[in-house]
Amino acid sequence: MTVTINGTTGLATDSTSAVVEAVSLNHPSSSTAAITMDASNNVTLASNLTMTGGIYLGGSGSANLLQDYEEGTFQTTLAPETSGTITIQSTADTLAYTKIGRLVTVTGMVSIVSTGSAVGSYVRLSNLPFASADLTEFAGRNGGAVTFNDNSAGTKTTKAIIVLESSTLVRIYVDASTVGGSDDFYLSFSYTTT
């Protein structure tokens, strides 16, 4: 028997069997079931689910709780480790982020318009959208790589990065003096937040 709770016609069943094999729920303004549940306990929603709390996945402990999803953009800056300046084009300083639980993924490209006597063994990328985590021992540290497009040299190379704990900073390990106007950094990395 399928039990249908329809906002217009009310409660209905499709047979006299006492065994409920499926349940569906319709909104009065829609002929499509908003919620259905089948005999295998699969629940299907026809549209979006809005939750102000989280959802436990695979268990009921705090480590199973997925509380947050968010996507958006942020603007960043670059600076050499030791001295000098690196200026990003104002039309190419916005990066995208996607946060799923405590994991933040950053993607995008920044283009450099000019540099001034840049010195240092790394370039500092600032203003991450969420502060990085400070977890047990060094579990909050994150590493990865980005692509450095050196237009003057005509090369594309991979540069190591690290995300410091409890900060909004990324170090891109490239000799700052080799970074020049029209160079780009292609970014795709993830880090943990609180």
Q: Which residues bind other proteins (CB under 8 A)?
A: 70-75, 97, 127-131, 134, 141, 162, 164-169, 194
- From the list 98, 159, 161, 108, the residue with the least C-alpha distance to 130 is 98
Beta-strand runs (E) in 38-81: 43-45, 55-56, 65-66, 69-75, 77-80
Give the single-character DSSP code of 176: G
The neighbouring-strand residues paired with 143 are: 162
CB of 65 to other proteins, least distance (A): 18
* CA pair distance 110, 181, nearest whole angstrom: 11
Residues sharing a CB contact under 8 Å with residue 132, sequence separation 6 or more, in sequence order: 140, 142, 163, 164, 165, 166, 167, 168, 191, 192, 193
CB of 75 to other proteins, least distance (A): 7
The number of C-alpha atoms within 13 Å of 59 and in the hemisphere containing its C-beta is: 5
Other beta carbons less than 10 A from residue 10's beta carbon: 8
CB of 91 to other proteins, least distance (A): 16
* CA pair distance 36, 82, nearest whole angstrom: 61
